[in-house]
Amino acid sequence: MLNISKMNSYYGESNIIRDLDLNVENGKICCLIGRNGVGKSTTLKSIMGLVKTPSGSIQLDGKELIKMPTYDRVKCGIGYVPQGREIFPQMTVQENINLGLQPIGGKGTVPDYIYDLFPVLPKFAKRKGGDLSGGQQQQLAIARALVAKPKILILDEPTEGIQPSIIEDIGVAIRKVNKELGITVLIVEQYLQFVLGISDYIYVMEKGEIVMQGNTSDLSAEEVQKKMTE
């Protein structure tokens, strides 16, 4: 489904991601894990066309994206939930959700499954986004990314700054998105327990390179943890 090969990413002259190969299989939940500053967000921004990627390939179902503007990548079927959620605090919950219609021409309606997945959102439809809790804002950001019915949903640290009981809710929602809506998922995380509980496949990143990968059921949690702390 999503196939990245030999991709390089730069901020100015610094080569942050080096010759990255990463594949997300159709229908799976894949996680990219690693410590702070190793290049996880840069990888997702590269997929979205938000940083310079002068070489390599990023294909979605065989279609080359690497030279496409961000807007067209969204149209091709990528839903993106950035780190820190980036909802609009002064806009209402409903207005934030409706923004997800922009990539498909601003027309149409928000599909009902969004409200089934996150029942708190219709309840707070008229509240300002900024008045929601961190967990609710995360749900709002995921909802916004799902409005355009993406083929793949990519999430940057969805558990960051969220209390444990709500992390569980978010995990349940992501699993439903995957199993019930059939949407492939790529999650960037630092929280290993969450990753072990939700993923089919794990990539571990260090300094812009993959240092370990495998099916979640085949990997040793201790080995992954060691890579995260050494």
Ligand X SMILES: Nc1ncnc2c1ncn2[C@@H]1O[C@H](COP(=O)(O)OP(=O)(O)O)[C@@H](O)[C@H]1O
Binding site for ligand X (CB under 6 A): 11, 16, 34, 36-42
Rounded distance between C-alpha atoms, residue 178 and residue 116, angstroms: 14
Structure-block tokens of residue 75? 């149209």
Pick one of ligand X, Mg ion, none as the site partner of residue 129 (Cβ within 5 to 8 A by kind): none
Shortest Å, Cβ 224 to ligand X: 15
Q: CB of residue 86 vs ligand X: minimum separation in angstroms? A: 14
The residue with its CB nearest to Mg ion is 41
Hey, which residues does 20 pair with through a beta bridge?
Answer: 7
- CA angle (136 as vertex; 101, 38 as ends), nearest 5: 85
Rounded Cα distance between 171 and 117, Å, is: 11
- Provide the minimum distance between the beta carbon of 14 and ligand X in the complex, in angstroms, as a whole number: 6
Q: Tell me the pairing of strands 14-24 and 201-206.
A: unpaired
77 binds, among ligand X, Mg ion, none (CB under 5 to 8 A by kind): none
Distance between CA atoms of residues 50 and 52, nearest Å: 7
CA gap 160, 222 in Å, rounded: 22
Separation of alpha carbons 173 and 33, rounded Å: 20
User: Site for Mg ion (CB under 5 A): which residue of 1, 39, 41, 195?
Assistant: 41
Nearer to ligand X, 39 or 56 (CB): 39
- Is the Cβ of residue 34 or residue 103 nearer to ligand X in the bound state? 34
Q: Which is nearer to ligand X, 167 or 188 (CB)?
A: 188
Question: For the chain, what is the largest distance between any 2 Cα atoms, rounded to a whole number of angstroms?
Answer: 50
Site string for Mg ion, 67-86 (x = CB under 5 A): ----------------x---
Please state the closest distance from residue 207 (CB atom) to ligand X, in A.
9
With beta carbons less than 8 A apart as the criterion, state whether 39 and 205 touch.
yes
The partner in contact with residue 34, picked from ligand X, Mg ion, none with C-beta cut-offs of 5 to 8 angstroms by kind, is ligand X
Name which of Mg ion, ligand X, none residue 216 binds, using a CB cut-off of 5 to 8 Å depending on partner kind. none
Nearest to ligand X of 123, 207 (CB atom): 207
Sheet of strand 2-11, all strands in order from the earlier edge strand to the far edge: 14-24, 2-11, 52-60, 63-64
Give me the residues that bind Mg ion (CB under 5 A), please.
Answer: 40-41, 83
